[in-house]
Amino acid sequence: MVQYNFKKITVVPSATDFINIILSRTQRQTPTVVHKGYAISRLRQFYMRKVKYTQQNFHDKLSTIIEEFPRLDDIHPFYGDLLHVLYNKDHYKLALGAINTARNQIGKVAKDYVKLLKYGDSLYRCKSLKVAALGRMCTLVKKLSGSLAYLEQIRQHMARLPSIDPNTRTLLICGYPNVGKSSFMNKITRADVDVQPYAFTTKSLFVGHTDYKYLRYQVIDTPGILDRPFEDRNIIEMCSITALAHLRSAVLFFLDISGSCGYSIVQQAALFHSIKSLFMNKPLMIVCNKTDLQPLEGLSEGDMKLVMEMKAEAMKTVIGQGGEATDDEGVLLTMSTLTEDGVMAVKNAACGRLLNQRVEIKMKSKKINDCLNRFHVAIPKPRDQKERPACIPQAVLEARAQQAAEKEKRKTERDLEDENGGAGVYSASLKKNYILANEEWKEDILPEILDGHNVADFIDPDILMRLEELEREEGMRQVEDDEDFEMDGKDLTPEEQEALAAIRKKKSMLIQQHRVKKSTAESRPTVPRKFDKSREFTTKRMGRQLSSLGLDPSLAIERARSRSRGRKRERSPERGDAMDVDTDESNKKLRTRSRSRSRSMSRPPTEFVPGAGFKDSEQKVKAIKLAKKSVKKRNKNARRGEADRVIPTLKPKHLFSGKRSIGKTDRR
Partner 1 sequence: MRDYRHGRGKPRTGWEKNSQIQRRSLTCFNLGFTSTLFRPHQYRRLPPPVAAMPQGDYIERHRKLHGYRHDHFERKRKKEAREVHKRSAMAQKALGIKGKLFAKKRYAEKALMKKTLAMHEESSSRRKVDDDVHEGAVPAYLLDRDTTTRAKVLSNTIKQKRKEKAGKWEVPLPKVRPVAEDEMFKVIRTGKRKTKQWKRMVTKATFVGPSFTRKPPKYERFIRPSGLRFNKAHVTHPELKCTFNLEIIGVKKNPNGSMYTSLGVLTKGTIIEVNVSELGLVTPAGKVVWGKYAQVTNNPENDGCVNGVLLV
> Rounded to the nearest whole angstrom, what is the least distance from the CB of residue 134 to partner 1 in the complex?
11
CA 366 – CA 411 distance, rounded (Å): 59
Task: At 212, give phi and psi (nearest 5°).
Answer: -155, 125
Residue 118 near partner 1 by CB under 8 A? yes
Stretch that binds partner 1, among 129-137, 247-255, 579-587, 599-607 (CB under 8 A): 129-137
Q: Does 132 bind partner 1 (CB under 8 A)?
A: yes
Among 66, 75, 96, 191, the residue binding partner 1 under the rule CB under 8 A is 191
Q: How far is the CB of 607 from partner 1 (least distance, A)?
A: 36
194 binds partner 1 (CB under 8 A): yes
Return phi, psi of residue 375, to 5°: -90, 130
Nearest to 109 by CA among 132, 125, 140, 133: 133
Count of beta carbons in the 10 Å neighbourhood of residue 259: 15
Which of 55, 147, 189, 337 touches partner 1 (CB under 8 A)? 189
Separation between Cα atoms, residue 167 and residue 76, nearest integer Å: 10
Q: How far apart are CA 440 and CA 429, in angstroms?
A: 15
* Contact between residue 117 and residue 47 where contact means Cβ atoms under 8 Å apart: yes
**Closest distance to partner 1 from the beta carbon of 10 (Å):** 20
DSSP H or E segment with residue 576: helix 576-580
Asked if residue 107 binds partner 1 (CB under 8 A), the reply is no
Stretch that binds partner 1, among 65-73, 128-136, 322-330, 449-457 (CB under 8 A): 128-136
Q: Which of the ranges 4-12, 191-199, 293-301, 576-584 carries the binding residues for partner 1, by CB under 8 A?
A: 191-199
Restricted to residues 331-350, the positions that interact with partner 1 (CB under 8 A) are: 339-341, 343-344
**Is 348 or 564 the residue whose CB approaches partner 1 more closely?**
348
Q: Does 164 bind partner 1 (CB under 8 A)?
A: no
Helix 145-159 crosses helix 89-117 at what angle (to 10 degrees)? 130
Work out whether 119 is an interface residue with partner 1 (CB under 8 A).
yes
Distance (Å, rounded) from C-alpha 391 to C-alpha 357?
38
Q: Select from 123-131, 370-378, 394-402, 638-646 the region that touches partner 1 (CB under 8 A).
A: 123-131
Using CB under 8 A as the binding rule, whether residue 161 contacts partner 1 is answered as yes
**CA separation, residue 422 to residues 340, 407, 408, 411, 431 (Å):** 18, 22, 21, 15, 20
Q: Does residue 192 interact with partner 1 by CB under 8 A?
A: yes
- Between 234 and 606, name the residue whose CB sits nearer to partner 1: 234
d(CA 362, CA 369): 10
Instruction: Give yes or no for residue 125 binding partner 1 (CB under 8 A).
Output: yes
Told to check if 523 binds partner 1 by CB under 8 A, we report: no
> To the nearest whole angstrom, how small is the minimum distance from the Cβ of residue 77 to partner 1?
21
**In Å, what is the CA distance from 417 to each residue of 31, 428, 429, 431?**
84, 7, 11, 16
Instruction: Provide, rounded to whole angstroms, the least separation between the CB of residue 246 and partner 1.
Output: 19
Interface with partner 1 (CB under 8 A), residue total: 39
Within a 10 A sphere around the Cβ of 668, how many other Cβ atoms? 12
| 24 touches partner 1 by CB under 8 A | yes
CA dist 649 and 110 (Å) reads 44
Task: For residues 265 and 256, give the distance between their C-alpha atoms in angstroms, rounded to a whole number.
Answer: 7
- Per CB under 8 A, which region of 108-116, 297-305, 369-377, 646-654 contacts partner 1? 108-116
- 15 binds partner 1 per the rule CB under 8 A: no
Taking CB under 8 A as the criterion, which residues in 202-221 touch partner 1? 204, 206-212
CA distances 216 to 170, 171, 296, 357, Å, are 9, 11, 31, 16
Please say whether the beta carbons of 102 and 142 come within 8 A: no
Rounded to a whole number of angstroms, the minimum distance from the CB of residue 119 to partner 1 is 6
CB atoms within 10 A of CB 105: 15
Does position 17 bind partner 1 by CB under 8 A? no
If the CB atoms of residues 118 and 524 are measured against partner 1, the closer one turns out to be 118
Q: Element (H or E) spanning 454, and its range?
A: strand 453-454
Q: How far apart are CA 335 and CA 330, in angstroms?
A: 13
Per rule CB under 8 A, is residue 27 in the interface with partner 1? yes
The residue type found at 269 is: A
CB of 159 or CB of 503, closer to partner 1: 159
Nearer to partner 1, 252 or 275 (CB): 252
Binds partner 1 (CB under 8 A): choice among 35, 36, 190, 381: 190
Sheet holding 215-221, edge to edge: 206-212, 215-221, 170-175, 250-256, 284-289, 332-334
Closer to partner 1 at the Cβ: 194 or 309?
194
Q: Which residues in this chain contact partner 1 in the complex, by CB under 8 A?
A: 20, 24, 27, 112-113, 115-116, 118-119, 121, 124-125, 128-129, 132-133, 160-162, 188-194, 204, 206-212, 339-341, 343-344
